[in-house]
Amino acid sequence: MHLEINDKTSLRDIQLVFSDFYPYLKIEFYRKRHKKYEASDEAFQIDPNICIGDIKHTHVTGLLEIRPLYKVADVENEFQQRFGLSVQILRKEKEGWQQTTGMDDFTLKELNEIGRNSSDEFIVSDYEEGFEESEEKPEKLL
């Protein structure tokens, strides 16, 4: 996956491209940086409809490559070092989104799979709750 980042890129644009490649992961932007294995404070979350040029003093244009085998910490660090953007990657967890604190050494591929499995279990449980067994006995095969 390649992200073209410039002053006119909205945070929402980045989120949409990221989620297209990793449907069980989500990226959020914050005004304050977090350390490895730490959560980001939701009070500092940035509105995704804002363009990068509106929040950055230094204007950098570039192409960011993100591969499935990159670790979460490396992706978050790359956004910070190259573009001055503090990000947190979240994963799908049944009914909502969970910050990946403590999972910074996992790859995006691994975390996406964990999120998918969590969502699949939820879907299966919903299906099983709505499933009704027939009281009729099947016919015997001859």
User: Tens of pLDDT along 73-103?
Assistant: 999 999 999 998 999 999 998 878 988 888 9
d(CA 129, CA 21): 31
Counting the structural domains of the chain, the total is 1
* Sheet-wide strand order for 86-93: 25-30, 86-93, 96-99
**What is d(CA 99, CA 102) in angstroms, rounded to the nearest whole number?**
9
Q: Is residue 99 part of a domain?
A: yes
| Enclosing domain of residue 72 | 2-130
Given a cut of 70, whether residue 129 has pLDDT beyond it is no
Which is it for strands 62-65 and 2-5: parallel, antiparallel or unpaired?
antiparallel
Residue 8 falls inside a structural domain: yes
pTM exceeding 0.85: no
Q: Which helix (H) or strand (E) holds 96?
A: strand 96-99
**Tokens describing residue 103:** 């999972």
pLDDT, the chain, mean? 85
Residue 56 is classified by DSSP as -
Q: Please indicate, yes or no, if residue 136 is contained in any of the structural domains.
A: no
Residue 40 within a domain: yes
Q: Residues of the chain with pLDDT > 90: what percent?
A: 56
Residue 142 lies in a domain: no
Range 51-70 average pLDDT: 90
Asked whether the predicted pLDDT for residue 134 surpasses 80, the reply is: no
Is 102 contained in some domain?
A: yes
Closest Cα to residue 114, out of 100, 124, 129? 100
Question: Does position 25 have pLDDT exceeding 90, yes or no?
Answer: yes
CA distance 6 to 52: 7
In a domain? residue 69? yes
- Residue reference for tokens 């975390």: 111
- With respect to residue 137, please indicate whether it lies within any of the assigned structural domains: no
